[in-house]
Amino acid sequence: MGAEFRILQSIGASEGVSHLHAVPLYTKPMTEITRDELNARLEALESRMDSRVSSIGGKIDAFLSAQVERDKASEYRFGRIESDLSSIKADIKSTSTDVHEVRRTLARYMGGITVAAAISGIVIGAVIKHVF
């Protein structure tokens, strides 16, 4: 290795073995930054960050606006569902009343048939006694 490199020695932690690394001996010297240059860089950075924050703010506003519209649509749908459920409940109650009325009518009819059959049986029995 030439004069432009300096050799650094490091110890391997796990094996206890030395490793040699070549590192450039010189780098370009850094110039000192002036206050005006620092201010200009900070202003440029602040400007970029402001535009990024504005962009994100716009996206958040658009998202929230879409959420508000979605919520309105959901509220409308839920209102329709509640209305439909109320209508279904009323229909079920009406149907239940109708079924109950049909049962009562059938019971009366069946009771009438039973009474008619009993009377017919008595009449037939009386006719058979007289005829025979």
Per-residue pLDDT of the chain (132 residues; tens, 9 = 90+): 444 545 444 444 445 545 555 555 666 777 888 999 999 999 999 999 999 999 999 999 999 999 999 999 999 999 999 999 999 999 888 888 888 888 888 888 887 788 778 888 888 877 777 776
Cα–Cα distance measured from residue 84 to residue 86, given in angstroms and rounded to the nearest whole number: 5
Residues 6+ apart with CB under 8 A from 5: 22, 23, 24, 25
Question: What is the count of structural domains for the chain?
Answer: 1
pTM: 0.39
Exposed, middle or buried, 11 (CB in 10 Å: 0-12/13-18/19+)? exposed
Cα–Cα distance measured from residue 22 to residue 6, given in angstroms and rounded to the nearest whole number: 6
- Quote the domain boundaries for residue 35: 5-131
For residues 9 and 18, the answer to whether their CB atoms sit within 8 Å is yes
